[in-house]
Amino acid sequence: MSLTLVPRTRVISITSGKGGVGKTSVVTNMALQFAAQGKRVLILDGDLGMANVDIMFNVRAQRHILDVVKGQCSLQDILLTPSPNVTIIPGGSGVFDLQNLSVYEKQALLNEVSTLGHDYDVMLIDTAPGIDDNVLYLNSAAQEICVVVTPEPASIADSYALIKVLNQRCRETRFSIVCNQVKDEADGQKLFQRLDQVAGQFLYVSLDYKGSIPSDPILRQCTRAQQLVSRANPDAVSSQAFRRVSSNLLGNSQPNEIKGGLQFFWEQLVGVA
């Protein structure tokens, strides 16, 4: 009798050292690009204080993950499907600490997550910016950590600070880098090299460049109109860049197999692994 191996969900956190770097735009547009490649995508809106992934897709969540934790509804009740092959777990706007859930609440959440089965190829986690505990837990539980950085000096400094904290407190050594709001690909590579040089000088980490998203007027126009450029204008320069970055994220590196897939992520997150 032959055994059929069930493919694991690839769990990727999208994070940043500071706000305003376009992280949620990266998450939502890459989700559309993954879906266009035939991947089934699950997005966890992990910015538990300022959740807005649903708004980027021009939908509004009525219930959120805290409702599931409190036993007010099931996980299936809160899932949104704003686009083919894309599903959202809304984060809500009430700040709470996943690590401070009771044992009962943690187990209830894990029981609900188990209903997701193996329905997804990729899970993207949109974290809050910064280095608070929720951000660190979400990143350290993921298989891959992707840091979004812009040419702003504050973004570079805060990205380094985030990488440093994740390295020193969570023992993370591998990071993917996406450069956003740059002039062009060459500008993005220069930005990556600056961050890589500083990190290599002071930390024992490996940074992997996944590509750049140019500062595209069409992208800004779509964002103001609450549209996703990958859907509204697939031929835009930024849409093509999102396509390349999504292919690089899935194609050029192996996930951290030690961390496993979707169920492992949730077990790590609530501290029962």
Hey, where are the domains in the chain?
A: 10-266
List Cβ neighbours of 5 (8 Å cut-off, separation of 6 or more).
Answer: none
Residue whose structure tokens are 């939908």: 59
Q: How confident is the model at residue 5 (pLDDT cuts 50, 70, 90)?
A: very low
**Res 83 pLDDT > 90:** yes
Which fold is adopted by the domain 10-266?
A: Rossmann fold (3.40.50)
Are 245 and 178 in contact by the 8 Å Cβ rule? The answer is yes
pLDDT at 1: 39
More confident position, 8 or 140: 140
pLDDT digits (tens, 9 = 90+) for 135-194: 888 888 888 999 999 999 999 999 999 999 999 999 999 999 999 999 999 999 999 999
- What pTM value is reported for the model? 0.89
Rounded CA-CA distance 160/166 in Å is: 10
**Res 6 pLDDT > 60:** no
Q: What average pLDDT is seen over the chain?
A: 86
Rounded CA-CA distance 71/104 in Å is: 10
Give the Å distances, CA to CA, from 217 to 28, 129, 231. Answer: 18, 24, 15
**Res 10 pLDDT > 80:** yes
Are 133 and 49 in contact by the 8 Å Cβ rule? The answer is no
pLDDT at 230: 96
**Res 272 pLDDT > 80:** no
Nearest to 176 by CA among 207, 204, 149, 203: 207
What is the percent of the chain with per-residue pLDDT over 70, rounded to a whole number?
86
Q: What is the DSSP letter of 98?
A: G
Q: How confident is the model at residue 208 (pLDDT cuts 50, 70, 90)?
A: very high
Q: How confident is the model at residue 106 (pLDDT cuts 50, 70, 90)?
A: confident
Q: What is the DSSP letter of 129?
A: S
pLDDT at 103: 74
Average pLDDT over residues 198-203: 94
Highest mean pLDDT among 26-30, 67-71, 248-252: 26-30
Average pLDDT over residues 100-109: 74
pLDDT at 270: 63
Rounded CA-CA distance 272/120 in Å is: 23
pLDDT digits (tens, 9 = 90+) for 14-41: 999 999 999 999 999 999 999 999 999 9
